[in-house]
Structure 1
């Protein structure tokens, strides 16, 4: 459902809302080979979602924010109260899960994450202006889009999210766009049908974070995981952390814990 580009000092990375979301097909998602709480399954999911991009075959290093994330919301359409509420609820949830400082600000000058609610007739122009031609070339088949920029240490320095509200609503994906795009620009940029259940799997109906997504975020923002780490460097750290969470019940309680976010009762969960 989302399109995302991640960019290094010389690169950009964008992840569009994937094409499958447009089809709104019934839930035909394959069941995972094993229970998602299996540490080996979670490590595989982390590799898929954190270390890959949607539009290239390269194995990337870990990408995450070190500086506080400050979000400015630009409204080019109505319903500003509703849209602000959805964003604020999700930002609060992400801050709670990751332990990272994430907050909305009142001016673009203060922000390093610029989120635009626009309309379908303007979204190509907005994407071109904020994200550039490479991102604009991928809007066909996407519902919404995000992009982040990296420094030389693979730390995320700036990000953009563009949501054409009328288009997202037409596909029943407004909340999903808010949740998925903001989450992806924290450093989980890939979509994959190999990861289930997850908002990063466009074959599943999830609009909100799942227990697996909760664990992937907690892993990414663990103090022992640093931007720039390779898959080989990060795997033993993931293994050790997951074994601890297996013992202390964090994995078992993840599905329940993730539903403490404010969006869940709002959507009837």
Structure 2
């Protein structure tokens, strides 16, 4: 990755994100509470349909996709990220990986050998030249996905791409999450919590579900109780990758109806 001398926060793009954060906070956005804990089962099932069984890009009706293999997560920094930030970010992602494992009940190991889920923290210049690195470190990534990442607009704060196994019933093969180095600590944590959870199989940002970090309105900066319940349901033993919406939804409705949500 390209070597730069200073942290990305001290750049015009860093100022752009600081202004964005200030604007969202002034409007009551980027909340750091988890929202209400008592949620209607029917509402949760509808949220699951919108977030897990639809796609942000492409087909609106999509099969259920999750990790069937253990997740082996690792972290890579662009040279623009100073050592002090690397320690904080590593600590945050390690902790959050453990939280994802506890919620889902699925193995998520941080720092494992032979990683299949890579988190890259890079600045704008590094992002634009990331193509060769992506092809070398994200097995099966498509040229289209590489272009989407390396041409990510500055208004797009972060991104995750998952690559399915050749047989979709085997789930997700690999994933990469991109976090911009220019972000403030709060915006960076919001990206980490949203994108890493999306890479577990909750891919769709949308306008309806709330309280949710997956809502496009940026009301929440953290994974909410609503989101935790969706992630827990996604990894219920009754479900498996490759299920169509009409197969999965009746089971999801039953899961929420009997879970005491």
Same structural fold, with TM-score higher than 0.5 when normalized by the shorter chain: yes
Picking from 193, 197, 201, the partner of 1:179 is: 193
Which residue in 2 is equivalent to 1:158?
174
Bigger mean CA offset, 187-196 vs 74-83:
74-83
Q: In the alignment, what sits opposite 2:13? A: none
Offset from partner CA, 1:222-251 (integer Å, 9 cap, x none): 0111101111111111121111113xxxx1
Runs of 4+ that moved beyond 6 A: none
Could you say which residue in structure 2 is the equivalent of 1:48?
A: 50
Measured in 2, the distance between the counterparts of 1:62 and 1:36 equals 25
Higher relative contact order (CA 8 A, sep 6+): 2
Please state whether the residue corresponding to 2:148 is helix, strand or coil.
helix
1:117 corresponds to 2:121 = yes
Match of 1:101 among 107, 120, 127: 107
1:15 aligns with none
Residues of 1 paired with 2:59 and 2:244: CA distance?
A: 15
How far the C-alpha of 1:135 sits from its partner, in A, is 3.4
Q: CA RMSD in A?
A: 2.4
Report the TM-score, using the length of structure 2 for normalisation.
0.77
Distance 1:178 1:50, change over 3 A: same
Secondary structure of the 1:146 match is: strand
Which residue of structure 2 lines up, in the alignment, with residue 67 of structure 1?
Answer: 69
Who is 1:209 aligned against?
223
1:199-241 deviation digits (Å, cap 9, x = unpaired): 1013143121111101100110001111011111111111211
Cα drift, residue 139 of structure 1: 3.3
Contiguous gaps of at least 5 residues in structure 1: 1-18, 30-34, 252-269
Q: Mean Cα displacement is larger for which, 119-128 or 45-54?
A: 119-128
| SS class of match (1:64) | coil
Return the match for 2:213 from 183, 186, 199: 199
Aligned length: 219
With the length of structure 1 as denominator, give the TM-score of the two structures.
0.75
Superimposed CA distance per residue, residues 134-164 of structure 1 (whole angstroms, 9 cap, x where no aligned partner): 3334434211111110012251010001112
- Matched residue, 2:3: none
What is the match of residue 184 of structure 2? 169
Following superposition, the deviation at residue 60 of structure 1 comes to 0.3
Structure 2 alignment gaps of length 5 or more? 1-16, 31-36, 135-144
In structure 2, what is the Cα distance between the partners aligned to 1:53 and 1:136? 20
